[in-house]
Amino acid sequence: MEIVEVKDKVFRRFISEEKIMKGVQEISTRINMDYKGKNPLLLAVLNGAFIFAADLIRELTIPCQISFVKYASYAGTRTTEDVKELIGLNEEINGRHIIVVEDIVDSGITMDHLLRDLNNYQPASVKLACFFLKPEAFIKSFNIDYLGMEIPNDFIVGYGLDYDGYGRNLPEIYKLEN
Question: pTM of the prediction?
Answer: 0.91
Indicate if the pLDDT at residue 27 is higher than 80: yes
**Which residue would you say has higher pLDDT here, 122 or 74?**
122
Amino acid 74: pLDDT: 55
The pLDDT confidence band at residue 84, using thresholds 50, 70 and 90, is low
β-bridge pairing 173-176 and 97-105: unpaired
d(CA 27, CA 53): 11
The dihedral built from the CA positions of residue 133, 135, 138 and 141, taken in this order, carries a sign that is positive
Residue 130 pairs with which residues in a beta bridge? Answer: 102, 147
The yes-or-no answer on residue 164 being catalytic is no
**Domains of the chain, first to last:** 19-153 (3.40.50.2020)
Residues ≥6 apart with Cβ < 8 Å to 90: 67
pLDDT, mean of residues 4-10: 97
Q: What is the pLDDT of residues 45-72, one digit of tens each?
A: 999 999 999 999 999 999 999 999 988 7
Min mean pLDDT across 72-86, 129-143, 146-160 is at 72-86
Q: What average pLDDT is seen over the chain? A: 92
d(CA 17, CA 131): 13
Catalytic residue among 8, 34, 82, 106: 106
d(CA 133, CA 108): 9
Min mean pLDDT across 4-13, 75-84, 108-117 is at 75-84
